[in-house]
Structure 1
């Protein structure tokens, strides 16, 4: 069962339907009140239509003024923060905002805040249910999640902010609880990863001591940090989905809401990027996606246009077909993806990724350490080519030059200070991009990890691993493979080695107290319970009640789960790699990948640039209503 469906059923089956039942008088509708962060979480796996069908009359933001509805019940789904509690109390300060109240928090509520709710004379008698659901994370598609904290890239490296570290641990615990992975076998990469691993293990142990549940979903949890492969967060990736989120974000795409804005005839239209054609195209190479859309358009032409198909333009044909109601949805989907693909090509040309500079080829050589002929690249040649481009092409955008520099510094070890300074001088970055590069260098994520420095003892060398080099050589020589798609994220190699029990115990140790349970085959034989958050025993009427429930059927089909968490954020190319590895695994094995944020090169750079308090935070909570999927 997908992560998205697990979270959806947790809200609908366990939280919402129980709240309606707890009302006690047969009233089958209520209003849902959420804070901005909770709305973003819900938006990632629910649509307004899902809630309407269950009896939710509307979803309202806690932060905004609302009309009192004393004859209607309300379900408050909130973060356990003081500001949220104060707003709830304000709703019932003098007169009741609602008839009866159901309170649901995404994490445990502090006892001091709980006391405030208990002591509220108008509110307390109206509370009919009180639960905690471990839903403090944003779901990405069916197998991804993130914590909406892009600031983790600077806040956790090189020295972690303790509050941010604690929040990260608690949210990762929430993911494990939601997936019923309460006793995972944990492996880690670095000292920071080990610290997170130990904290997660302790938290899960304490949670498990409060539960009546005797089994845990078999799971291996691998905790990495972004230093494992900075190239994946910087290089242009040419799958359709990655191109959309890298090149169109802030242009025609609002990536926070998955909304595409189409402009035609002086009018703009917002479209939710969640249709069957998108699901079919998203992992394809950009050119393969374009060809498939064109094939579908040609098929529609032949079947529906009452004149010679060669005598009518694609735009005119689509406009003609929209007049037929039964064709409107299919035509609109094709028009949407044709528009996005056209805009992607425009952006690639503007940034000179393709002709005439072949910046895309240079990126691939830097990222792979292997050229398109399958031979090892010479670092001096890479540096000379990069320096020449930075010198001879002042029209290149500062952001493009920044990406090239960051990619080079991330992939090449022991770059002499003189060479680094020369590249910075000729690049002539804008002030904000210069600061972004300095901020990235301060994280030390582009340096060789301490455990790997013996492999790069002296001299300038590429950081590609032996396994990666072999894969990149194979990709370079593969017939029919696109030259600009030689690079693949290191996570794909790591996952394949983990599945095949070949992953280095030296580089990725097993957390000591889980060593006895180590091994995919051993863990996979454990008894699988239905998924869902574990039961929390109620100590009194105000404690967190059970949110586990009886989620059925497909849950039990997962016999083993591999959960990868990347501190600093994960990328869409890594999400795709997880999907590709899962397809080769035994039936019943599931791969889920998450991180502190979902990274694209544009969003990484935006986070690293200096910004004022008035600037929007990348990947922020946002506001507005839950979108309808039409």
Structure 2
């Protein structure tokens, strides 16, 4: 069972039916009250239509003013935090004016005893509680194969020295993912000391939730940190989905909600970026995606050629949109034509495809290999970058910053004089200069095993990565701006073929015992009127679920990146899975889903931070 379906069934087949069953008095509707973070979690795998079918009349934010509905039951679907509990208790501070009739609680993590005590002692609330459940849903889903913890701040909170509370939060959330997957004690492999610390703590947490009687599946969990490949978080990726989220975020795309704003027939409307055509296009190269959409438009033109000779595509689509049976198809094509047009406009603004070939220079920096498959000379690379920064003062500041960040991430032992020349030529704004300093301060330029490479200036690319880039550069039909591939792809291939080095990625020893989900009814919940529910009855999805499991996933590879993962790595996971035996699933996860813009935002200092500082050690 995929992670997305598991999360959907946990809510739709366990949590909501339990509430609906206990509503009583002929009522079958109730309100859902959520906090902002939980709403993002739910929205990542459910739509309002799914909830409405199961009796939810509306979804309201706990943090906002809400109309009292004393005749209607409510499901509070929340994180178990002190501030959250304060708002719950405020809803029932008066016996004469309660917010709701009966109350059902669903918390997304284990509730601390101190918070449970506050609930049981709430005079006007305790008698109204009819059910209580904890579900391990503290993470966001991305498509069917990705998840993240919505923690962009982890890039500075974990590196170079991890924040203890942040580390604890990550361990708890990763444990929740494992519990939702109902896997065995996973075989965990780690990249670094920090990764090993997370692995040890995850295993200890999982041991606390063991239920050997529950069925489970083999799982390999590999924990990495962002130092594995900083270039993947900075270089332009030309697959359609990556272009959309890199170039259009904050422009026509609201990346947090997956909403595109576009003009149609003179009206501005918002469109959810989730349709069958989007699923076809997302991993295609931008040019292949353009050709695919244009071919669909041409097909529609041929099928509806009545008087259409000489008519522009825009006018033709507008006419066809008036036919109800064509409206959805035309809207999808219009949406993606508009997106592709805007992507090309943004590439022009950033001068990626201009005669000086900034895109080619970027690929040379990321790969250490030029378009002809030859090793790049660092001196030539430095000279080219210096000339670009000096001769192109009109180059967008973010593009200059990305080029410098990419160069400093990919090249080791850069002389101080050379670093200074590049930074002076870039003339970065003070806040952008501090972003660069912040990135260098994380010491994420390369994995620990590659941080000392002699004293000479050299590209950090490994022999395996260089060989792959040479192969890509000389491959027939491959776009020259797509030579770079994330290191994760090769790592996954080696892992799947049992060729991954145990020296670089050692196994974290574990008990090997099965574990399951925490018992749904918390031990102290009976005082609140919630029955103790056996986990095996509800959370194992035993009703027909075992047969589906056997027909689907038989082995799982989960990759988790401390510091966040990228759209290119999500695509790489999908490509690797296509070549694995049937029944093998590859999941990609991290503390956040990174784009270059989001990485820069996470590294940007607070307004009061100083713009200047000493250059960190880049070794």
Flag the 1:336–1:214 CA change in 2: closer, same or farther, 3 A.
closer
Q: Look up the match of 1:583.
A: 578
- 1: distance between equivalents of 2:541 and 2:518? 11
String of CA shifts for 1:504-558, please: whole Å, max 9, x gaps: 11110001336xx6xxxxxxxx99x9xx845357434158854614251433321
Structure 1 unmatched ranges of 5 or more:
518-525, 614-630
* Contact 1:213–1:534 (Cα < 8 Å) also in 2: no
- Is the 1:144–1:594 contact (alpha carbons within 8 Å) kept by the matching residues of 2? yes
Question: For residues 326 and 276 of structure 1, what CA distance do their matches in structure 2 show?
Answer: 16
Q: Deviations over 1:465-500 (max 9, x none)?
A: 222112111111111100001111000001000010
Q: CA deviation at 1:266?
A: 5.0
In 1, are the aligned partners of 2:565 and 2:593 still within 8 Å (CA)?
Answer: yes
* Whole-Å separation in 2 of the counterparts to 1:370 and 1:467: 12
SS at match of 2:449: helix
Aligned mates of 1:343, 1:88 — CA distance in 2:
45
Q: Distance in 1 between matches of 2:456 and 2:262?
A: 51
Moved more, 428-437 or 228-237: 428-437
Q: 8 Å contact 2:20–2:54 — kept in the other structure?
A: no
8 Å contact from structure 1 (residues 41, 137) kept in 2: yes
2:611 aligned residue: none
SS state at 2:381 partner: helix
In 2, the alpha carbon distance for the partners of 1:495 and 1:314 equals 43
Q: Could you tell me how far apart the structure 2 residues matched to 1:180 and 1:215 are? A: 8
Structure 2: gaps spanning 5 or more residues = 609-619
CA distance in 1, matches of 2:367, 2:463: 11
* Corresponding residue of 1:360: 359
Paired residues for 1:167-566 under 5 Å? 167-208=169-210, 211=211, 213-264=213-264, 266-309=266-309, 311-446=310-445, 448-453=446-451, 456-513=453-510, 533-536=517-520, 538-540=522-524, 541=526, 545=533, 546=535, 548-550=539-541, 552=545, 553-556=547-550, 557-566=552-561
Match of 2:567 in 1: 572
Q: Determine the structure 1 residue equivalent to 2:59.
A: 59
Once the 2 structures are TM-superposed, how far is the Cα of residue 265 of structure 1 from its aligned partner? 5.8
Aligned equivalents of 1:612, 1:420: Cα separation in 2: 25
Question: Scaled by the length of structure 1, what TM-score is found?
Answer: 0.92
Q: Report if the CA contact (8 A) 1:212-1:535 is conserved.
A: no
* Contact in 2 for aligned 1:562/1:590 (Cα 8 Å): yes
- Report what 1:607 is aligned to: 602
Shift of 1:565: 0.4
Cα root mean square deviation, aligned: 1.8
Tell me if 1:39 matches 2:33: no
Check conservation: 1:182, 1:204, Cα contact below 8 A. no
Q: Measure, in 1, the Cα distance between the counterparts of 2:38 and 2:430.
A: 36
Cα distance between partner residues in 2 of 1:537 and 1:216:
21
**Map of 2:612 onto structure 1:** none
Aligned to 1:131: 133
Equivalent pairs counted in the alignment come to: 595
Aligned counterpart, 1:522: none
Provide the secondary structure at the position in 2 that maps to 1:389. helix
**Which has the higher mean CA deviation after the structures are superposed, 277-286 or 91-100?**
91-100
**1:611 CA displacement:** 3.9
- Contact 2:132/2:522, CA 8 A, preserved across alignment: no
Secondary structure of the corresponding residue to residue 499 of structure 2 = coil
Q: Report SS of the residue matched to 2:208.
A: helix
